Amino acid sequence: MKKIISPLFPENSRVELEETFKSEKIISLYSSLNIDVSRFFPDKEVNLYKCKNTGYRFYYPYSTIGDAEFYEDLSKNRKNYYSERWEHKESLKYIGLNKKVLEIGSGFGAFLNMLKSKNITGKGLELNPHAVLTCKENDLDIEQKLIQELIEEQKETFDVVCFFQVLEHI
């Protein structure tokens, strides 16, 4: 049996299986939204593990991660997916005017627009190409790339990093 390793605690990793999901059920549920996710589920099951060191819960196999096409499909089929949220407003209370903000998973720019309306410098990262194009059309600073790519180019550039509704995708 393959040893499962926690992404947050790879050394001396101690994990426990919490739940198992049938891939066909997940595929069927997304199919009802007109989204084909079968490419993410080559195995018959997806397991939810918990890292005993940190409490972090993660899915295995790791290949069950959404790609740009998935997030574009999701945004087109769930109109409220990238909407303004209460946590956006709450976060604004703690961000000063002279701060540079990076938002990971910007969607269609709800939070970036809020930053812009307060004259706060904001930059977004988003995997959905349709959302990125929409943000650029609205004159928002956004790129379609992963945080790892941006950090290699722009170390120590941002004062605040935000990510709303993102951790559940990792």
CATH number at residue 98: 3.40.50.150
Q: In terms of domains, do 3 and 50 share one?
A: yes
Q: What angle do CA 42, 71, 86 make, to 5 degrees?
A: 130
Question: Can you give the pLDDT of all 170 residues of the chain as single tens digits?
Answer: 678 988 877 888 899 999 999 999 999 999 988 899 999 998 899 999 999 988 988 888 887 777 878 877 877 776 666 667 889 999 999 998 889 999 999 989 999 999 999 999 999 999 888 889 999 999 999 999 888 888 777 777 899 999 887 765 55
Per-residue confidence (pLDDT) for residue 6, from 0 to 100: 87
Instruction: Provide the domain limits for residue 14.
Output: 1-65
Tell whether 90 and 165 lie within a shared domain: yes
Centre a 10 Å sphere on the Cβ of residue 120 and count the other Cβ atoms it contains.
18
Beta bridge partners of 16: 50
Of 71, 80, 85, the residue nearest 132 (C-alpha): 71
Q: Provide the pLDDT for residue 66.
A: 79
Residues 108 and 43 in one domain: no
Residue 76 lies in a domain: no
Q: How many domains does the chain have?
A: 2
Whether residue 48 is found in the same domain as residue 14: yes
72 within some domain: no
Structure pTM?
Answer: 0.65
